Amino acid sequence: MRIVIVFFCIIFMSLGLTLEAQTQRIDTVYFGGKKMLRIITEKGDTAYLDQLNEVSISSKQQFSSKEEYDKYMRYRRYAAIVYPYALEAMRIYHESKESTRGMTNRERKKFMKTLEKEMEDQFEEPLKKLTRTQGMILTKMIEKELDEPFYDVIKEIKGGWSAFYYNTTGRFYGYHLRDGYIRGEDVILDMVLDDYRLSVKK
């Protein structure tokens, strides 16, 4: 699922671009058996980004057929698999948003390269195991939270040509990046995504 890996890295790069311009080094450390992202600035300040608590809300659903029920259960299993990745994307977004200071083009390019390598090392192997449907659910889960299509995210960060390229390529894998998450297009998907919240711990 190379296309999923590419999209996921783009999300991390785009959401993470709001980190301070003074970021000097990004690596991972372990505390109490938990893997955390560590950021060290040029001034020597250190920030540790921890995993958010997972919160889901389940509600009783009604189905008109066994096929609908089976699809719902399948989507729920897949959503449970990709939910931690969606949480990670939102965690980086919300935590980095607070420290936005702006970057020069040179600083941004350097930061994106570092972050992309970090994300590929951490997520490439597990993301390669995702099926096409699981990748779709991950995409829609993030788009629903952002209220923005992947196409617009790519266009903002990498330009219109890159957005066009990834949108065209994505269609071969069943992704329609320009459309975004459209409520009502797949009522079963709506049911599943409504049971998952990418909330931020205050």
- Ordered by start, the domain boundaries in the chain are 2-19+66-197
> Is there a contact between 130 and 4 (Cβ–Cβ < 8 Å)?
yes
Residues of the chain with pLDDT under 70: 1-60, 92-101, 103, 105, 108-109, 111-116, 119, 157-158, 173, 199-202
Tokens describing residue 170: 């994505």
- In this prediction the pTM is 0.67
First CA to last CA distance, the chain:
34
Strand bridging mode 34-41 / 23-31: antiparallel
What pLDDT score was predicted for residue 185? 94
Q: How far apart are CA 102 and CA 20, in angstroms?
A: 7
What pLDDT score was predicted for residue 187? 94
What pLDDT score was predicted for residue 92? 63
What pLDDT score was predicted for residue 109? 66
What pLDDT score was predicted for residue 155? 80
> Is there a contact between 177 and 185 (Cβ–Cβ < 8 Å)?
no
SS3 (DSSP) at 99: coil
Tens digit of pLDDT for each residue in 98-124? 544 576 767 766 766 666 677 677 777
What pLDDT score was predicted for residue 136? 87
Q: Which amino acid is at 138?
A: L
What pLDDT score was predicted for residue 72? 94
What pLDDT score was predicted for residue 153? 75
